[in-house]
Structure 1
Amino acid sequence: MPDRPRILVATGPIDATADLVIDELNRRRVPLARIDVGAFPDSVTLSARLGTSGWIGEIDNGSRALRLEELRAVYWRRPSAYAAETAAPGPVREFASREARAGMGGVLYALPDVTWMNHPHAITACTKPAQLAAFARAGLLVPDTWIGNEPKDHGAFCAEGSAVSKTLGPIAYDGPDGYRVLFTGRVPHEHFGDVRAQATANHLQREIADKVAEYRVAAVGERLFISEAHTASPYLDIRALDPESVTYKPGTLPDSVQEAIRTVTREFGLLFAAWDLLRDAEGTVWALELNPAGQWAFTPDSDEIMRAIADHLEEAASQ
């Protein structure tokens, strides 16, 4: 194994999940560089020159540097947004941010022979509508779903049976009254067909009311780590519950569901995906979503997941 880092861990300053993988790679004495690439150009520097075989040069955060031509694996977790705070606020900063993203991202994406977990392009392509369609093609059951902004159709969907509203993107955002989290919520009758639906894309699904268990599946390459969650508390969104009220244990899923999970994960070009599924009282398994940068440290198999991720990165770095 080379002494200089051939693994880039791209994430922000606080990431407990990435810390676990970094600690494991350090135990194995696998050199790596943890760099928040989104901090470019404020506290990270990039110097790249085009050669006959591609880009050569260096990324440096002041305490750790990585040679571009030696990079063999990227563990892309949750780097910061390109803020370009050293530029003047307003249009100048917006321009600087776009250029920073195009420069750092463009150079990294152009490097040959690099294993990505996961490539940002693959993450971007993994939208909720694309996920749900891929689930259905692979034979997974998906709750009846409607996406749109037509109030009449919004009302008609809700009138067919209990409907829940979900976000299409991250559930957290900074609003005018501070930080907010939008958990899954049941659509009340007075909101059926509300004209305010025209303001954005609404994501509605038929409620699975008789759920008895939820699953978090970590797919690492072809390996699946299945955890089953139970709670005695009534809920619509298990994420909104007190974590102390939820218990996790190793779980199992039908072979057909497991193979579909592998198929969809491969289809999106992902080496890692955190899946959410549930089982109803009749034993039917429903696929809800996948997250290319989802959490797994709370599951019973967290140590095995950590080692599986480290295995992929170490193997790529040794090439």
Structure 2
Amino acid sequence: MNDPNYLIISSTTDYSTDLICCELEKRDQNYLRINRDRFSEYQILYMLQNDSLSIKMGDYAFTITPNRLKSVYFRAPVFLRNMGKPYTLQEQLYKSQWSSFIRNLILFDNATWVNHPVSIYGAENKLYQLKIAQQCCFPVPETYVGNTLPKSIQPEQTYIVKSLDTALFYDNGQEMFTYSTMISGRELLNAEIRSAPIIIQEYLWDKTDIRATVIDDTVFAVSITKSGRNIEGDWRKNEKESLKYSPIDLPVSVQEQIKELMNKLGLHFGGIDLAMVNDTYYFIEINYGGMGLVGIHHKTPH
């Protein structure tokens, strides 16, 4: 039996996890990667009596114990967002019960989780993010959430509309995803929004998009531009090849706000989107998984 020091929970198509595994390989670290889309191929057994988890993959067997496990890198989402995609009963059983199994691994509470499922539960909520950001003295765009419009909406002004949660849908076999959208007040006033809540925010003119990747107390920030210019609306709508990521140094005060935010959310790792307008750094949102970047096989620990 092998006792890994590091456990990685991910999927076979996650490139960010591949990079982590490559780095662990370089450092000759004893780790195990399990992919949630392959769980049915593993033989998994947790034994409460001795607080150990055994995992068998083909000819290899591993045992995870609290005294050996140092850290858990958790890339699996907490919530299932595949509404609209027709799943068989067996698929529904697989997804719901293995999702619960992963969450129950918080019983390895001596390990450092990146990030802990309980913290992720809170950090996934956009309104909660914004409120905590305000507590950390971050400016945030004027924000409304609901299925009706505030009286302040002006026909000639531009606004940003977002989904309250990740909007991933399926229709006739096609996958659909929504980004943040620029929209005029006139369009909003003529729109029918009663069926579901939406986020409406003020539009920040001539903003510079900034992504700050945070690992504990270390902040790595880049500005995101296209053809040397700032980007209107959601920069993620553009082809990656057309974007330029330029390393920048954030003011110390902004870095301290970021660290306070991470601490209040209980996160060790995350990607924070900021928008700079006239030297003011607005908080937009945080992705607890960092930059979305897809699977490599596990390494047999020494």
Structure 1-normalised TM-score? 0.79
Amino acid aligned to 1:267: K
Unaligned runs of 5+ residues in structure 1 are 83-88, 298-319
- Does the 8 Å CA contact 1:158/1:187 hold for their aligned counterparts? no
| Residues 1:13 and 2:9 aligned together | no
Name the counterpart of 2:251. Answer: 254
Contact 1:140-1:286 within 8 A present in 2 as well: yes
Q: Distance in 2 between matches of 1:169 and 1:49?
A: 36
Match of 2:159 in 1: 163
* Partner Cα separation in structure 1 for residue 169 and residue 58 of structure 2: 31
Pairing partner for 1:139 from 113, 133, 137: 137
* CA distance in 2: counterparts of 1:177 and 1:163, whole angstroms: 32
**Matched position secondary structure for 2:160:** strand
Q: CA deviation digits over 1:7-49, x for unaligned, max 9?
A: 1111110111111111111111101111013543x22332111
Residue-by-residue CA offset, 1:231-276 (whole Å, 9 max, x unaligned): 2465311111122322122102222111010001111111101111
Q: CA deviation at 1:62?
A: 3.4
8 A Cα contact 1:230 1:248, kept in partner: yes
- Measured after TM superposition, the shift of residue 122 of structure 1 is 1.2
Q: Secondary structure at the match of 2:98?
A: helix
> SS of the residue aligned with 2:199?
strand
The letter of the residue matching 1:217 is: A
SS at match of 2:48: strand
Q: Deviations over 1:199-237 (max 9, x none)?
A: 1110111001221x2111111011111112222465311
Q: Is residue 277–residue 289 contact of structure 1 (8 Å, CA) maintained in 2?
A: yes
The equivalent residue for 1:285 is: 281
Tell me the CA shift for residue 162 of structure 1.
1.8
The amino acid of 2:213's aligned partner reads A
Q: What's the counterpart of residue 297 of structure 2? A: none
Q: Paired residue for 1:76? A: 74
Amino acid at match of 2:242: S
Which is richer in helix? Answer: 1
Match of 1:28 in 2: 27
Pairing of 1:16-165 with structure 2 (within 5 A): 16-37=15-36, 39-40=38-39, 42-51=40-49, 55-62=51-58, 65-69=61-65, 70-78=68-76, 90=88, 94-95=92-93, 97-106=95-104, 108-126=105-123, 127-150=125-148, 152-153=149-150, 156-157=152-153, 159=155, 161-165=157-161
Q: Give the C-alpha shift of residue 96 in structure 1.
A: 5.3
Q: Distance in 2 between matches of 1:206 and 1:5?
A: 48
- 1:65 and 1:175 map into 2 onto residues whose CA distance is 41
- Taking the aligned partners of 2:88 and 2:247, their CA distance within structure 1 comes to 50
Report how far residue 68 of structure 1 moved: 2.7
Give runs of ≥4 in structure 1 deviating > 4 Å: 79-82, 89-93
- Which range moved further: 59-68 or 70-79? 59-68
Amino acid in structure 2 at the alignment position of 1:73: S
Structure 2 CA distance for aligned equivalents of residues 287 and 80 of structure 1: 23
Sequence identity, in percent?
23
Corresponding position of 2:83: none
TM (normalized to structure 2)? Answer: 0.83
From 212, 219, 227, the counterpart of 1:224: 219
Partner of 2:300: none
CA distance 1:215–1:195, change in 2 (3 Å): closer
TM-aligned CA distance change 1:286 to 1:81, over 3 Å: closer
One-letter identity of the residue aligned with 1:113: N
Determine helix, strand or coil for the equivalent of 1:196: coil
Helix, strand or coil at the partner of 1:140: coil
Pairwise CA distance, 1:170: 2.7
Displacement, 1:128? 0.6
- Report the CA distance between 1:195 and its aligned residue: 6.3
- Structure 1 partner of 2:205: 209
CA deviation profile, 1:36-73 (whole Å, cap 9, x unmatched): 13543x2233211112xx62231334365432314321
Q: Which 5+ residue runs of structure 2 have no aligned equivalent?
A: 81-86, 294-302
Distance 1:158 1:265 in 2: 35
Instruction: State the number of aligned residues.
Output: 283
